[in-house]
């Protein structure tokens, strides 16, 4: 299905809420991102990490590959660097991208000369989806709809695309809580690219460190295009520590699952119909715009999405900070808004 390209928008725009509603930053509960509010505890940064140029042979790529279960990994300055560059390395063709999803992909492929085909959510239920495309982008689980596809489905699409020189690009930014759905282990195959990030599960969006998992030839071409020192020395120190800390990862995965279920139950008790992922809940609602505004007037900042493709408008709720005050603020605001 073809739809008009949507403008690029992101969450985390709390200053816009401050300006619009006149409420100081300290009084807001910012749920506009899907970032873990209790992120990885950053270790002390050695002085040499600030004083020397980043060392590309510091073991980060190997640690990342092991952490993700991938044959190899290329550290990049956040997934964004790869999203903007990868389309330039792929043969121009028809690229399927979700109409309701991360808004950076469609403009990046269009700018590189590809024909972008925006897909409705119902398209992702079709086994034959890849048949009419040269490349396909899948965010798994999808942000914001929460759609989670089985590895078998993705690998079948990859086989269809790769057979005629196409590529399946899978963004696994939110997969860390459900690693059994990852296809990182298959990323050494031609025509398959997987993106991973420290931003969401690890709560380290500010370090701007992500990873591209793919076949050596593609990673080499991407490395050549991006150049040296794309990830800073301090960021590499933090990334190595976070990716090697399996104990924290296990505990964090369990905690986020509990918190996600708590958020989903709270929204459902308030009369909404959430789709739950551990790091966020998606709430489709025909009155998403006034609901977003009403919550903002109670100091709760959510991310609003317009209708896209065959999807209704809706709100995405990120996790509140793990404090009684934050959860109470959300419950109070939700109760007042839904009563009204």
Q: Are strands 94-98 and 135-139 parallel, antiparallel or unpaired?
A: parallel
The predicted pLDDT at position 186 comes to: 98
Can you list the residues of the chain whose pLDDT is less than 70?
A: 1-12
96 with 119: CB under 8 angstroms?
A: yes
The predicted pLDDT at position 1 comes to: 42
Integer Cα distance of 40 and 198 in angstroms: 9
Please tell me what DSSP assigns to residue 133: -
For the question of whether the overall pTM of this predicted structure is more than 0.85, the answer is: yes
314 with 283: CB under 8 angstroms?
A: yes
* Torsion 251-77-137-310 (CA) sign: positive
**Per-domain residue ranges for the chain?**
14-39+247-339, 47-245
Same fold, 14-39+247-339 and 47-245: no
The predicted pLDDT at position 9 comes to: 60
How is residue 253 written in tokens? 């995965």
Tell me which of 3.40.640.10, 3.40.50.1100, 3.40.50.720, 3.40.50.1000 is the CATH number of domain 47-245: 3.40.640.10
How many Cα atoms are found within 13 Å in the side-chain-facing hemisphere of 326? 17
Residue of 204, 249, 200 lying closest to 42 (CA atoms): 204
How would CATH label the architecture of 14-39+247-339? Alpha-Beta Complex (3.90)
Percentages (nearest 5) of helix, strand, coil residues in the chain: 45, 15, 40
Integer Cα distance of 236 and 218 in angstroms: 22
The predicted pLDDT at position 13 comes to: 81
Beta-bridge mates of residue 92: none
């Amino acid at each position: 299905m073809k739809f008009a390209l949507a403008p690029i928008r992101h969450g985390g725009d709390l200053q816009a809420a401050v300006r619009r509603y006149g409420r100081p930053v300290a009084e807001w509960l910012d749920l506009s991102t899907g970032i873990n509010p209790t992120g990885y505890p950053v270790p002390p940064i050695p002085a040499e990490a600030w004083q020397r140029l980043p060392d590309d042979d510091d073991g980060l790529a190997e640690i990342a590959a092991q952490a993700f279960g991938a044959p190899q990994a290329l550290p990049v300055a956040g997934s964004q660097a790869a999203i903007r560059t990868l389309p330039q390395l792929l043969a121009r063709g028809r690229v399927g991208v979700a109409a309701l999803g991360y808004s950076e992909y469609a403009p990046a492929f269009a700018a590189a000369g590809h024909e972008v085909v925006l897909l409705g959510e119902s398209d992702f239920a079709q086994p034959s989806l890849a048949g009419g495309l040269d490349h396909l982008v899948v965010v798994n689980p999808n942000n914001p709809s929460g759609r989670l596809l089985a590895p078998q489905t993705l690998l079948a699409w990859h086989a269809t695309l790769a057979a005629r020189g196409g590529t399946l690009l899978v963004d696994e930014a939110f997969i860390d809580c459900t690693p059994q759905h990852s296809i990182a282990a298959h990323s050494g195959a031609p025509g398959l690219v997987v993106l991973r990030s420290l931003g969401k599960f690890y709560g380290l969006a500010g370090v701007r460190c992500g990873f591209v998992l793919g076949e050596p030839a593609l990673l080499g071409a991407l490395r050549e295009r991006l150049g040296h020192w794309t990830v800073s020395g301090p960021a590499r120190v933090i990334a190595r520590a976070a990716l090697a800390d399996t104990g924290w990862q296990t505990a964090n995965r369990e905690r986020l699952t509990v918190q996600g279920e708590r958020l989903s139950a709270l929204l459902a008790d308030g009369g909404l119909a959430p789709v739950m992922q551990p790091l966020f809940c998606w709430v489709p609602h025909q009155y998403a715009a006034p609901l977003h505004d009403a919550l903002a007037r109670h100091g709760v900042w959510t991310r609003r999405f317009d209708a896209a493709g065959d999807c209704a408008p809706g709100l995405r709720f990120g996790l509140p900070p793990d404090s009684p005050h934050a959860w109470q603020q959300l419950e109070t605001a939700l109760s007042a808004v839904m009563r009204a």
